[in-house]
């Protein structure tokens, strides 16, 4: 029994150490004046990740759509002040729509699934951010199957 516990602890330690060299790219997304959306493209591999930060103004909500070229690519979205992501694509698909309109800063993270990272896979993706008028949040959520 002790040998099994030591083996499990060593496996966990090796996994943690393998992430030590991972890089996190952080970018701010800007929606141009007069536009309602912006798309960023990128590529990640292994345990690396990319974080995109976007602000919504008064009366605006944020929608995020991930278009990956690999099923190993994953999306998480954090709302302001949250310790845990509000949206995890493994449970919810590749489309996020904020629940309400309020001035806020959102963070979207692109990373590989654990299995994809272990296999050293890479993923190219497009990530589209849309600023939605607060009155249209419910309709946008229904359109994307979020309700």
- Both tokens assigned to 4: 């099994």
Specify the pairing of strand 87-88 against strand 24-28.
unpaired
* CB contact at 8 A, 137 and 98: yes
Specify the pairing of strand 24-28 against strand 104-112.
unpaired
Cα–Cα distances (Å) from 47 to 75, 78, 118, 126, 128, in that order, read 14, 19, 8, 19, 22
Mapping DSSP to helix (H, G, I), strand (E, B) and coil, where does residue 91 land?
helix
Average pLDDT over residues 131-136: 81
pLDDT on residue 136: 73
Chain segment 82-107, per-residue pLDDT in tens: 899 999 987 778 999 887 788 899 99
Q: What is the mean pLDDT of the chain?
A: 83
Q: Report pTM.
A: 0.79
Residue boundaries of the structural domains of the chain: 22-143
Q: What is the CATH number of domain 22-143?
A: 2.60.120.380
């Amino acid at each position: 029994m002790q040998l099994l516990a030591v083996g499990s602890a060593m496996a966990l330690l090796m996994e943690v150490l393998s992430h030590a060299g991972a890089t996190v790219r952080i970018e701010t997304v800007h929606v141009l004046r007069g536009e309602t959306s912006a798309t960023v493209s990128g590529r990640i591999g292994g345990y690396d990740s990319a974080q995109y930060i976007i602000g919504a103004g008064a009366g605006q909500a944020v929608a995020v759509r991930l278009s990956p070229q690999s099923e190993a690519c994953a999306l998480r979205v954090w709302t302001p002040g949250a310790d845990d992501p509000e949206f995890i694509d493994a449970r919810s698909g590749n489309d996020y729509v904020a629940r309400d309109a309020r001035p806020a800063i959102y963070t979207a993270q692109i990373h590989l699934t654990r299995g994809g990272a272990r296999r050293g896979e890479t993923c190219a993706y497009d990530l589209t951010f849309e600023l939605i008028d607060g009155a249209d949040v419910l309709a946008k959520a229904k359109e994307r199957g979020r309700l």
